[in-house]
Structure 1
Amino acid sequence: MPHVSAARYGKDNVRVYKTDRDEKTGVHNVTEMVVCCLLEGEIETSYTVADNSVVVATDSIKNTIYIKAKEHPVNPPELYASYLGQHFLDTYKHISVVNIDITVKRWTRMVIDGKEHPHSFYRDGDDTRTVEARVTREGIKLKSGMAGLLVLKSTGSAFHGFVRDEFTTLPETWDRILSTSVDASWVWNTLPSVAAAEKQVAQFDKAWADARRITMKTFAEEDSPSVQATMYKMASQILDAAPETAKVLYALPNKHYFEINLAWHKGIKNTGKDAEVYAPQSDPNGLIKVEVSRS
């Protein structure tokens, strides 16, 4: 007899924007995010016997996302996710798990004539702040992160000494372009309640800022022997900077830039130490992942 071994449902791609206004100063802060909220619990009969009495309509989930954004702070997103998840547990006794994914878009305040503008912003990058929350009656599990941070350096990266066999054509290099789109996340120790998340608000923002700073500083300054070695160094530093985290994960795709041999045209030198013009590649690409946990 077939049975439902796992199920979840809800609303995805809910776009939310919020303006926080300081009435005294006239300064506005803006947040734009995309929210996914999926529920688990005693919902099997909605699949097996068409029992809709256990279904919280996905439209109701969407409305709840908006209302809770009005009622509560949306920053840091870890706290907003905790509030949202706890609401569903408190309201619906047959719901046991709330899964929330949040992606925060990047808006940066404009500086006009050397002064920060109170209510004007621009998109200075496609990287996003991310949160994954799994809220249960036993506690709140949070994974924070950043995605889509595209970085490149034109020197200071090498790759040699790797396995060579009959299938190897890649030449060793002691100096190359290194570019990647950073996808990094850090898993927090389980929080017992929303109140515990409220107490940790400052740590959420600090960890995100530290992780972004560490990633860019290490990327820029290290004479990288490999992506693997560099990402391990990044992860280790984030663990040091955020003591309430349990592990750090990185996924770094190689954005390849290949030399172009132009010797066929009037003997132009454009390889090795003479390389200046490269061909950016889209795919296939290397993909390197690591998970670094505390001992």
Structure 2
Amino acid sequence: MANPSVNVYLDKQEYGKDRVRLLKVHKDTKVHRVDDLTIRVLLSGEAFTTSYTEASNKAVVATDSMKNTCYILAKSSKVVDTLELFAAELANHFLNTYAWVQGAHVTIIRHRWARMIVDGKPHNHSFWRDGDETRQTDIFIKRGQNAQDRTVELKSAISGLLVLKTTGSSFEDFVRDEYTTLPEAKDRILSTCVEANWDFTLPFIHNSASLLPTLSQVPFNAIYDSVREVTCKTFAEDESASVQATLYKMAAQSIQNWKWVQKVAYALPNRHFFPVDLKYFRGTQNLNEHADVYQPVADPSGLITATVTRAPDTSVARL
């Protein structure tokens, strides 16, 4: 039974449209490009409180209108192929259009398409789905005390990058006690599905009109390409003593490469491949240095996470 004498209040709220699917085809040259996007738009502000507490829709912008806005701006935008800028354009639009909206939160996922190779050459307008890897960005723009001021929080990410190497990884000298059955491994398969995100060092307040020009100074596409390349190169070349040690090198390198990157976080599940013991079959050797047939084991898996942050005395970006 509810107790009407207990006071409650609405603590937090956001609402909007999720999973807006959008394909933008760039036809400015004979070589077409595609951006296959999934978009989430969430709005917040005190004006929406009464829609929860008093069943009043007077301030509610229909989520269908948010969906339509995504399509309309994608038609006119010149920055759809830079997720961070398109997300900022969308979020800033809602703040500029609806004076009572205090915060706009936009998340965009870009699904990966690769150009088909036909007769040994990249085809101008045909593509194939290049796995489940996605590029993502998440931006929250909040109205400042001055109606034209903007506070910006921005991060970008790689998700679903599945990698594997067949040597160059070990795991030794770990704690051994009565619970330990795992043997030490001087050489093992290392595989993970990379989840990485990075926060940008940006000015806290932007004027609404200067928001996009200011953000345009940051080479977002180059930073994404670089973080992905560093992730793959470090994974491939590092003589890994542990997933932890390799993760740290990945994150530190990207912070050192880009003055705009404030912190980098990774979540690396250790996808296990165990050699199959075949000694029961005519004494076939398939362990240790003889191993070349493995059983993938999905669950349970190790999970290694960490966030590496730029030290306070390190120089930061000034746009």
Q: Could you say whether these structures have the same fold, taking a TM-score greater than 0.5 normalized by the shorter chain as the test?
A: yes
Shift of 1:199: 2.5
Query: May I ask how many residue pairs the two structures share in their alignment?
Result: 291
- One-letter code of the match for 2:60? V
User: Percent identity, aligned pairs only?
Assistant: 47
**1:263-278 equivalence runs, <5 A:** 263-278=279-294
1:26 counterpart residue number: 30
Q: Is 1:87–2:93 an aligned residue pair? A: yes
Q: Is 1:240–2:283 an aligned residue pair? A: no
Question: CA separation in 2, counterparts of 1:151 and 1:134?
Answer: 31
Unaligned segments of structure 1, at least 5 residues: none
2:232 counterpart residue number: 216
**Aligned counterpart in structure 2 of residue 49 of structure 1, from 54, 62, 67:** 54
SS at 2:178's partner residue?
Answer: coil
1:199 counterpart residue number: 217
Question: CA separation in 2, counterparts of 1:87 and 1:95?
Answer: 11
> Cα RMSD between the aligned structures?
1.2
- One-letter code of the match for 1:45? T
- One-letter code of the match for 1:70? K
Question: CA separation in 2, counterparts of 1:84 and 1:251?
Answer: 29
- One-letter code of the match for 2:231? T
1:139 counterpart residue number: 151
**1:96-245 equivalence runs, <5 A:** 96-137=102-143, 138-191=150-203, 192=206, 193-200=211-218, 203-245=219-261
Question: CA separation in 2, counterparts of 1:115 and 1:269?
Answer: 45
Q: Is 1:251–2:257 an aligned residue pair? A: no
Instruction: Provide the TM-score with structure 2 as the length reference.
Output: 0.89
SS at 2:167's partner residue?
Answer: coil
Question: CA separation in 2, counterparts of 1:179 and 1:111?
Answer: 28
2:39 counterpart residue number: 35
Q: Which moved more, 1:225-234 or 1:135-144?
A: 135-144
Q: Which runs of 4+ in 1 moved over 3 A?
A: none
Question: CA separation in 2, counterparts of 1:169 and 1:99?
Answer: 47
Question: CA separation in 2, counterparts of 1:11 and 1:204?
Answer: 25
CA contact (8 A) 2:202 2:260 kept: no
Instruction: Provide the TM-score with structure 1 as the length reference.
Output: 0.96
CA contact (8 A) 1:141 1:189 kept: no
CA contact (8 A) 2:16 2:66 kept: yes
1:283 counterpart residue number: 299
Q: Which moved more, 1:225-234 or 1:167-176?
A: 167-176
Shift of 1:112: 2.3
Q: Which moved more, 1:157-166 or 1:251-260?
A: 157-166
1:71 counterpart residue number: 76
Question: CA separation in 2, counterparts of 1:288 and 1:178?
Answer: 13
Question: CA separation in 1, counterparts of 2:151 and 2:202?
Answer: 6
